[in-house]
Amino acid sequence: MELYQFLGYTKFLFTWTTMTKTVKKVLDYYVEKGIAELRPYPLVPYTDTVRTFVYLEDEKFLRNKDISLYEWMEEKVKNNSKIGAFSIRHFGLQMNPMLIPKPFNYEEFLKFDGLRGPTIFNNDRSPKAIFLTEFTRQPHTHWILKHFKQKHSHSASVDEIVYLHARASFAGAKLSKKSLNGTQNLMPDVDLLGKDVEEKLQKIRDVTKEIFGENPPPFSRETSEAMAKCTGNWLQKWRCRKPLTGCFDVVKYMEEWVFAKPSEENGWTIL
């Protein structure tokens, strides 16, 4: 969250069903600061008067930093009235060293050295979308399947913007020459922190300690590993991803979970 604010983001919307008590503690901190908002899934914000863009996770990195991401999108929509969403090409992002050390050590974790010089590499996965909620009829995990008012998705040029995906599985992986081919010219310096690096890293440390105090939060890789194994078995057998509720039985006793409470506005709209 601190990193995103350094990059220019000012407000965060999370739609959720369940999360661990530790994650909820982090998000509650930002809710109290007025920076984040939590809404039970599947609500998607919509307004007739203010243009709303929704980002589907991870980092969309503008190669031209003279303007903000929002300004870039507004300019594109202004010049092409048929745009209802942006499709942005996927690249991998590896933190060096990994942000969460193995074995886990809280003092080492607080160094956040991985943010200093991450590596971008070729990773052929589905693109991700940024979409205008007022024109979105059927969103998908990676793109928009249907639009209202004959809008369409615009494939953004890598000369302007790239989608950098820092998957946990990328941490510590050996990168081949093929995966690195061409990425140095595409973006020779992935500068996540910009100027005043030490001050920004200290800000992240201070916020982390403000949330958790001097005692480290409970951490274990068992939950993510169990979930990965469960979903992986399903993918191998059926070639499709089972809704994660089917794997919750595997991890429900590994963490303290918090569940979203349903509300009147938290409902599906039948189109």
Domain span at residue 219?
51-129+137-255
Q: What is the pLDDT of residues 156-198, one digit of tens each?
A: 988 888 888 888 888 888 999 888 887 766 665 566 787 899 9
Number of domains in the chain: 1
Predicted confidence (pLDDT) at residue 205 exceeds the cutoff of 90? yes
Stated length of the chain:
271
- 238 falls in which pLDDT band (50, 70, 90)? low
Give the pLDDT of residue 63.
66
Give the predicted TM-score (pTM) of the model: 0.79
Give the closest residue to 182 by CA, choosing from 123, 136, 243: 123
Residue 19: inside a domain: no
Residue 5: inside a domain: no
Residue 122: inside a domain: yes
How close are the terminal C-alpha atoms of the chain, in Å? 34
Residue 37: inside a domain: no
Residue 260: inside a domain: no
Residue 8: inside a domain: no
127: left (phi over 0), alpha (psi -120 to 50) or beta: beta
Residue 103: inside a domain: yes
- The better pLDDT of the pair 243, 115 is held by 115
Residue 231: inside a domain: yes
Q: What is the pLDDT of residues 64-119, one digit of tens each?
A: 667 778 888 899 999 999 999 999 988 888 988 888 888 889 999 999 999 887 88
